[in-house]
Amino acid sequence: MGCTSSNIAAAATTTSNPTHKVGKSSGQHQVLFFPDPALPCRYGSKCRRGKNCEFSHERTSLVRFIQFLRHTKSSIDICVFTITCNDIAREIMDLYKRGVKVRIITDTQQSTNIGSDIAKFREAGIKVKEDHTPHHMHHKFAIIDCKIVMTGSFNWTRSAVLNNKENIVVTDVKPVVQAFTQEFENLWKAFH
């Protein structure tokens, strides 16, 4: 059972996310742009390398992106052409391990590429579906807790983070969440 219009409606009245105070009206938005100057340092403020650390200690777009993932409470539906970024893959695994319901739709060709995290997700028990067509499952969106959509050009890859001009819109506008939910459910039914 995925997101239905009733739980989207319920979620819309209790919207919260890591970066915004909740107002009465819906309409929390955030736009992230890539590339980032560096991948985030895993040690954060505990890093001892100071200026010698090649990783970023700033609130980069990837850090903010990951914070959205990290605040998932009950479900995340991911529909992304390709996932190879280890920082993001680790976060998805962590969500799954703490009981979040994770569903992933991805592109068949991309899923077998070297560096793809799809096999790892499957081994861990995460439900993954593919398009199984010669065409591309080219979407890049995710629905968090039936109430937040993240969508844009951004593939969940290291080179998208570090090299590419990419964007992501994060929004809880209800009709947008409903439309993406419908698309996800349609694809989830159609693919295996």
Q: Which residue stretch of 33-41, 107-115, 135-143, 163-171 sits at the interface with Zn ion (rule: CB under 5 A)?
A: 33-41
State yes or no: is 140 an active-site residue. yes
- Active-site entry in 29, 97, 127, 138: 138
* Residues in binding contact with Zn ion, number by CB under 5 A: 4
Q: Which residue stretch of 15-23, 52-60, 108-116, 154-162 sits at the interface with Zn ion (rule: CB under 5 A)?
A: 52-60
Regarding 58 and contact with Zn ion (CB under 5 A), the answer is no
Are the C-beta atoms of residues 85 and 161 closer than 8 Å to each other? yes
Regarding 53 and contact with Zn ion (CB under 5 A), the answer is yes
State yes or no: is 172 an active-site residue. no
The 3-state DSSP class for residue 132 equals coil
State yes or no: is 77 an active-site residue. no
**Which residue from 2, 7, 1 is spatially nearest to 147, judged by alpha carbons?**
7
Instruction: Report the distance separating Cα 121 and Cα 123, nearest Å.
Output: 5
Edge-to-edge, what's the strand order for the sheet holding 127-130?
Answer: 29-34, 166-171, 148-152, 140-144, 75-80, 101-106, 127-130
CB of 102 to Zn ion, least distance (A): 29
Are the C-beta atoms of residues 32 and 61 closer than 8 Å to each other? yes
Q: Which of 10, 31, 47, 179 binds Zn ion (CB under 5 A)?
A: 47
Nearer to Zn ion, 29 or 90 (CB): 90
Regarding 41 and contact with Zn ion (CB under 5 A), the answer is yes
Within 159-178, the residues that bind Zn ion by CB under 5 A are none
- Active-site entry in 129, 145, 147, 172: 145
Regarding 22 and contact with Zn ion (CB under 5 A), the answer is no
Q: Can you read off the two tokens belonging to residue 168?
A: 């992501």
Q: Can you read off the two tokens belonging to residue 144?
A: 């968090």
- Which residues make up the interface to Zn ion (CB under 5 A)? 41, 47, 53, 55
